């Protein structure tokens, strides 16, 4: 039994035989041919087959990946029909009396070399295309099936990594799971696995040994392990794990459309956290009641300059429209600390967690803040938007924020731009905010408790410091009492209270939070149904 670990792309367990996928190499042989006309006919037939393959690849790619990706197969088809290329092959077979495989390979190499020697980067790159079409014809001649899986029953596909054309060509009905030695969460293999909804591991520490072919194995996408030749005990354990997972998944799917209500009739909103627009798919698929935390940082990260109001508006509008009237709580810019953006030119700090970050930057650089607020208010016309502000410590901060919000609303009204009512709330993530929560509650419509930062600041433990992992305890009574106090004071001041930190998905605490009177829990989309189940069992 060999246990390897990899990065899981999709949960689930697959059990089956390994199929070692290798790029098949034809070993070129030069043979003397007597009947050259018959050999030419053999070539013509192979060319015809290759053309048909390119045709079907073109249509397959068009459906699966779009025009851009598909075009290459159309160009390959034309190259395969090129007069000079064909003449060269035919005359080599006829005059040199060589086999078709040899004539095609050598011709391909010659044309490829001609392209490679060109003084033009684009045309240089076309040398690969010539080699590709020649290889395709040679494979047909030699009877090598590319992307074919020579197995009757479905297999666990083990490969180094897969190219786009390989993922297009693979017979997907024969694949139980993917395990690749390389690749990433964004590689073609990962994308394919997600679209097929089957377990997959990438960056797996496995050797691609011929002897693994046909060997029984397990892909555990839950814990990111690949077990080759499992012993009896492990095999039994994995069969149970697979059954449990599938049963759980079916059970959870049945909860779609159901209420988040306890057996004694208490109702809680279960919302989802998102970090980009693609996450909305998962929010909808998992039936979340809304978006409880839309981290807006991704709009600012990975670029050279500030996003414009228009760019931001389009993003908020997309999310709001797709959520179709369900609440979307957008958290304003929360950079600084561990999230740095170069063009903000933030000063280097001794202690960034307690430094110039989040709302502190926004209240200092009001123009950046206003751009974001304008974009959100404009988008509010397309759904139910709410805004929350991070890292609040004082009542004066929220009063200042509300002044800026009023300015934005007045400007928009003057410009004749319509917007909807927008709920305003704050993140409660500092002990200071907890201590003055009664006063804060009078200023806002809701609180959302950020348990990660609240734990860090309450316990004075840097959550990035791994040597403190053993004492970083988010169940610490001090943290739980902070949460309790926030809920009580929030309600006293007329604000509803939710939790959007990691603790929200900790089902061992769900009952505690409900007993404290929590109104909303916002978790990663994949935890929504699990949390619903936990609530319904209370």
Partner 1 sequence: MTMKQFQYTIKDELGIHARPAGLLVKKASEFKSTVSVDNGTKKGDAKKIMSLMMMAVKQGQTVTFTIEGEDEAAAAEALEAFMKENL
Say whether 500 is catalytic: yes
Report CA torsion sign: 355, 359, 362, 368: positive
Burial letters 95-128, b for 16+ CB under 10 A, else e? eeebbbbbbbbbbbeebbeebeeeeeeeeeebbe
Contact between 79 and partner 1 (CB under 8 A)? yes
**First-to-last C-alpha distance (Å) of the chain:** 42
- Choosing from 1, 71, 113, 354, the residue that interacts with partner 1 (CB under 8 A) is 71
Alpha carbons within 13 A on the beta-carbon side of 401: 27
CB nearer to partner 1: give 121 or 264.
Answer: 121
Annotate each residue in 84-113 with x if it binds partner 1 (CB under 8 A) or - if it does not, as one string.
xx-------------------------x--
For residue 105, give every residue at least 6 positions away whose Cβ sits within 8 Å of its Cβ, in sequence order, or none.
28, 134, 138
Annotate each residue in 116-155 with x if it binds partner 1 (CB under 8 A) or - if it does not, as one string.
--xxx-xx--x--xx-------------------------
CB nearer to partner 1: give 130 or 387.
Answer: 130
CB of 43 to partner 1, least distance (A): 18
* Backbone Cα Rg of the chain: 30
- Of the listed 188, 414, 476, 491, which one is catalytic? 188
CB nearer to partner 1: give 126 or 378.
Answer: 126
- Of the listed 59, 475, 491, 500, which one is catalytic? 500
Alpha-carbon gap, residue 254 to 490, rounded angstroms: 34
Annotate each residue in 23-62 with x if it binds partner 1 (CB under 8 A) or - if it does not, as one string.
----------------------------------------
Report CA torsion sign: 228, 234, 240, 244: negative
- Choosing from 29, 35, 37, 82, the residue that interacts with partner 1 (CB under 8 A) is 82
Other Cβ atoms within 10 Å of 333 Cβ, number: 25
Which residue's structure tokens are 């997959």?
A: 200
Alpha-carbon gap, residue 200 to 226, rounded angstroms: 10
Alpha-carbon gap, residue 14 to 242, rounded angstroms: 7
CB of 106 to partner 1, least distance (A): 15
CB of 84 to partner 1, least distance (A): 5
- Choosing from 78, 243, 256, 366, the residue that interacts with partner 1 (CB under 8 A) is 78
Alpha-carbon gap, residue 364 to 174, rounded angstroms: 59
Say whether 188 is catalytic: yes
CB nearer to partner 1: give 122 or 367.
Answer: 122
Other Cβ atoms within 10 Å of 36 Cβ, number: 18
Alpha carbons within 13 A on the beta-carbon side of 221: 27
Count H helices, E strands: the chain? 20, 16
CB of 88 to partner 1, least distance (A): 10
CB of 23 to partner 1, least distance (A): 24
Q: What order of strands is seen across the sheet that includes strand 216-220?
A: 2-5, 225-228, 216-220, 13-20, 155-159, 175-180, 200-202, 7-10
- Choosing from 2, 3, 28, 115, the residue that interacts with partner 1 (CB under 8 A) is 115
Question: Residue 428: beta bridge partners?
Answer: 449
CB of 53 to partner 1, least distance (A): 18
Q: Which two tokens stand for residue 395?
A: 């009542």
Piece of 11-19, 114-122, 175-183, 347-355 that binds partner 1 (CB under 8 A): 114-122
| Residues in region 400-419 near partner 1 by CB under 8 A | none
Q: Which two tokens stand for residue 318?
A: 């997309």
Contact between 65 and partner 1 (CB under 8 A)? no
CA nearest to 364, candidates 406, 410, 400, 326: 400
- Choosing from 25, 32, 34, 83, the residue that interacts with partner 1 (CB under 8 A) is 83
CB of 226 to partner 1, least distance (A): 40
Alpha-carbon gap, residue 488 to 461, rounded angstroms: 26
CB nearer to partner 1: give 110 or 394.
Answer: 110
Alpha carbon 93 to its chain centroid, in Å, reads 51
CB nearer to partner 1: give 1 or 123.
Answer: 123
Question: Residue 7: beta bridge partners?
Answer: 202
Alpha-carbon gap, residue 212 to 179, rounded angstroms: 13
Alpha carbons within 13 A on the beta-carbon side of 522: 28
Contact between 75 and partner 1 (CB under 8 A)? yes
CB nearer to partner 1: give 132 or 220.
Answer: 132
How many residues lie near partner 1 (CB under 8 A)? 21
CB nearer to partner 1: give 75 or 285.
Answer: 75
DSSP 65-85: T-HHHHHHHHHHHHHHT-HHH
CB nearer to partner 1: give 90 or 295.
Answer: 90
CB nearer to partner 1: give 128 or 354.
Answer: 128
Active site residues: 188, 500
Q: Give the binding site for partner 1 (CB under 8 A).
A: 71, 74-75, 78-79, 81-85, 111, 114-115, 118-120, 122-123, 126, 129-130
């Amino acid at each position: 039994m060999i246990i390897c670990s990899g990065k899981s792309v999709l949960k689930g367990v697959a059990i089956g035989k390994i199929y070692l996928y290798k790029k098949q190499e034809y070993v070129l042989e030069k043979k003397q041919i007597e009947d050259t006309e018959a050999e030419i006919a053999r070539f013509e037939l192979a060319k015809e087959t290759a053309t048909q393959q390119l045709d079907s690849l073109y249509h397959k790619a068009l459906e699966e990946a779009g025009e851009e990706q598909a075009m290459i197969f159309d160009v390959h088809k034309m190259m395969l029909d090129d007069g000079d290329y064909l003449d060269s092959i035919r005359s080599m077979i006829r005059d040199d009396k060589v086999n078709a495989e040899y004539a095609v390979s050598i011709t391909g190499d010659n044309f490829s070399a001609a392209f490679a020697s060109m003084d033009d980067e684009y045309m240089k790159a076309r040398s690969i295309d010539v080699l590709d079409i020649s290889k395709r014809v040679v494979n047909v001649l030699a009877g090598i099936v590319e992307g074919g899986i020579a197995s009757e029953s479905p297999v666990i596909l083990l490969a180094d990594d897969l190219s786009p054309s390989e993922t297009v060509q693979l017979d997907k009905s024969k694949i139980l799971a993917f395990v690749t030695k390389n690749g990433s969460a964004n590689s073609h293999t990962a994308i394919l696995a997600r679209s097929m909804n089957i377990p997959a591991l990438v960056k797996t520490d496995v050797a691609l040994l011929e002897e693994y072919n046909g060997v029984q194995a397990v892909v555990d996408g839950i814990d990111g392990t690949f077990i080759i030749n499992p012993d009896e005990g492990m095999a039994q354990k994995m069969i149970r794990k697979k059954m449990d997972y599938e049963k759980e998944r079916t059970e959870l799917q049945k909860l779609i459309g159901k209420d988040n209500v306890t057996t004694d009739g208490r109702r809680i909103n279960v919302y989802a956290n998102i970090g980009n627009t693609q996450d909305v798919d998962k929010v909808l698929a998992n039936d979340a009641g809304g978006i409880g935390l839309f981290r807006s940082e991704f709009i600012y990260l990975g670029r050279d300059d500030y996003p414009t109001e228009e760019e931001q508006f389009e993003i908020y509008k997309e999310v709001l429209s797709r959520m179709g009237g369900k609440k979307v709580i957008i958290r304003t810019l929360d950079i600084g600390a561990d999230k740095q953006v170069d063009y903000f030119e933030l000063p280097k700090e001794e202690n960034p967690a307690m430094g110039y970050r989040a709302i502190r930057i926004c209240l200092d650089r009001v123009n950046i803040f206003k751009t974001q607020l304008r974009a959100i208010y404009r988008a509010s016309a397309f759904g139910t938007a709410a805004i929350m502000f991070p890292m609040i410590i004082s009542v004066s901060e929220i009063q200042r924020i509300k002044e800026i919000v009023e300015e934005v609303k007045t400007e928009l009204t003057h410009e004749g731009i319509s917007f909807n009512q927008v709920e305003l709330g704050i993140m409660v993530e500092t002990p200071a905010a907890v201590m003055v929560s009664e006063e804060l509650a009078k200023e806002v419509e809701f609180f959302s408790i950020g348990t990660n930062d609240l734990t860090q600041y309450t316990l004075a433990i840097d959550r990035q410091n791994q040597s403190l992992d053993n004492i970083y305890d988010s169940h610490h009574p001090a943290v739980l009492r902070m949460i309790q106090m926030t809920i009580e004071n929030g309600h006293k001041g007329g604000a509803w209270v939710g939790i959007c930190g990691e603790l929200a998905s900790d089902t061992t605490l769900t009952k505690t939070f409900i007993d404290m009177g929590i109104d909303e829990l916002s978790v990663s989309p994949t935890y929504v149904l699990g949390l619903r189940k936990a609530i319904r069992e209370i």
